[in-house]
């Protein structure tokens, strides 16, 4: 079993920056397997369902939702079992609970059902 723990959420002004972190822990074999799967960030509000923000696989290929392209960057640190989401030029519409999730290769990244592991979420508020 693998645990994902997010951190870094905060309240910031529009135009500001944040860096979210997602740290994986748990069974060693499962941790090693994270190096061969994909990790993603999702976000959810009380009015909108959970939606994919960005994803990256162990081949280094990243994909972004159109709403965050050019502003957000997803990057892994495999030595630390951590995936970051660098958020720049934040807007009020970026306000949401942000979740980290992991899935095997071959599944659709935007579909929440593709993911086997989820974190508990970290709140980002932009005003």
The band of 106, judged by pLDDT with boundaries at 50, 70 and 90, is confident
The band of 69, judged by pLDDT with boundaries at 50, 70 and 90, is very high
The whole-angstrom separation of Cα 1 and Cα 30 is 7
Inter-residue contact 26 to 2 (CB < 8 Å): yes
Inter-residue contact 49 to 110 (CB < 8 Å): no
């Amino acid at each position: 079993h693998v645990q994902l723990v997010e951190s870094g959420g905060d309240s910031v002004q529009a135009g500001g920056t944040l860096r979210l972190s997602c740290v994986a822990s748990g069974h060693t074999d499962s941790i090693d397997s994270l190096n061969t799967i994909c990790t993603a960030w999702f976000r959810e509000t009380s009015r909108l369902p959970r939606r994919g923000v960005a994803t990256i696989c162990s081949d280094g290929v990243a994909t972004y939702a159109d709403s965050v392209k050019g502003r957000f960057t997803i990057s892994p640190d495999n030595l630390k079992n951590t995936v970051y989401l660098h958020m720049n030029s934040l807007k009020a519409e970026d306000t949401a609970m942000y979740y980290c999730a992991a899935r095997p290769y071959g599944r659709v990244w935007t579909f929440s059902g593709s993911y086997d592991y989820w974190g508990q979420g970290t709140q980002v508020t932009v005003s």
